[in-house]
Amino acid sequence: MSVKKKTLFRSGIAGAGAAALFAGSWAAGLGGATAGAAEPAAPQQAAAPTAADPHSDVPLGYAAEAGGTTGGFGADVVHEYLLSEYAAEAGYSDPGEAMYDLLNQHRRADADEGLVIHVDTTVEPDNLTGNKMDVKDVSNVSILGVGDSAEFDGAGIKVTRADNIIIRNLDIHHVRLGDGDAITVTEGSHHVWIDHNTFSSTLDVDKDYYDGLVDITHNSEYVTVSWNHFHDHWKGMLVGHNDSAGSAPDKITYHHNHFERLNTRIPLIRHADVHFANNLLEDIDGSAINARMGSQVLVEGNWFENVGSGEDDSHAGYPEGPVGWWYGSNSTGYWNLVDNAFVDSPHEHLESTTDFTPPYAFDADSPADAKAAVEQYAGAGVIDPTP
Q: Tally Cβ neighbours within 10 Å of residue 327.
A: 15
Per-residue pLDDT, 5: 59
Flag whether pLDDT at 4 surpasses 70: no
Contact 34, 44 (CB under 8 A): no
Q: What's the number of domains the chain is made of?
A: 1
Asked, for residue 42, whether it belongs to a domain, the answer is no
Per-residue pLDDT, 318: 85
CA atoms of 345 and 247, how far apart (whole Å): 33
Confidence band, pLDDT 50/70/90 cuts, at residue 6 = low
End-to-end CA distance of the chain: 10
Q: Is 265 a catalytic residue?
A: yes
Flag whether pLDDT at 111 surpasses 80: yes
Length of the chain: 387
CA angle 279, 283, 285 (to 5 degrees): 115
Mean pLDDT of the residues in the chain: 87
Confidence band, pLDDT 50/70/90 cuts, at residue 282 = very high
Residues 6 or more apart from 217 whose CB is under 8 A from it?
A: 184, 185, 186, 238, 239, 240, 241, 247, 249
Between helix 83-90 and helix 95-107 the angle, nearest 10°, is 90
Say if residue 249 is preceded by a cis peptide, omega within 30 of 0. Answer: no
Higher pLDDT, 310 or 166: 166
Which conformational region is residue 252 in: left (phi greater than 0), alpha (psi within -120 to 50 degrees), or beta?
beta
- % of the chain residues with pLDDT over 70: 87
CA 236 to chain centre: 13
Asked, for residue 366, whether it belongs to a domain, the answer is yes
Residues 6 or more apart from 316 whose CB is under 8 A from it?
A: 324, 325, 326, 327, 332
CA angle 296, 304, 55 (to 5 degrees): 85
Picking from 272, 164, 168, the residue whose alpha carbon sits closest to that of residue 227 is 168
Torsion sign, CA atoms 383, 195, 183, 129: positive
Q: What is the pLDDT of residues 333-376, one digit of tens each?
A: 999 999 999 999 999 999 999 999 999 999 999 999 999 999 99
Picking from 252, 246, 255, the residue whose alpha carbon sits closest to that of residue 269 is 252
Higher pLDDT, 17 or 255: 255
Contact 373, 256 (CB under 8 A): yes
Asked, for residue 71, whether it belongs to a domain, the answer is yes
Q: What is the pLDDT of residues 24-76, one digit of tens each?
A: 222 333 333 322 223 333 344 556 788 889 999 999 999 999 999 999 999 99
Asked, for residue 48, whether it belongs to a domain, the answer is no
Q: What is the pLDDT of residues 79-105, one digit of tens each?
A: 999 999 999 999 999 999 999 999 999
Alpha-carbon Rg for the chain, nearest whole angstrom, is: 20
Mean pLDDT along residues 285-295: 96
Higher pLDDT, 130 or 282: 282
Asked, for residue 31, whether it belongs to a domain, the answer is no
Task: Identify residue 202 by its one-letter amino acid code.
Answer: T
Asked, for residue 321, whether it belongs to a domain, the answer is yes
Flag whether pLDDT at 315 surpasses 50: yes
Per-residue pLDDT, 205: 85
Asked, for residue 120, whether it belongs to a domain, the answer is yes
**Could you tell me the residue range of the domain that residue 219 belongs to?**
67-377
**Active-site option among 10, 168, 265, 292:** 265
Asked, for residue 1, whether it belongs to a domain, the answer is no
Confidence band, pLDDT 50/70/90 cuts, at residue 7 = low
Q: Is the pTM of this model over 0.85?
A: yes
Mean pLDDT along residues 219-230: 99
Mean pLDDT along residues 215-237: 95
CA atoms of 90 and 98, how far apart (whole Å): 8
Per-residue pLDDT, 228: 99
- What is the domain-level CATH number for residue 309? 2.160.20.10
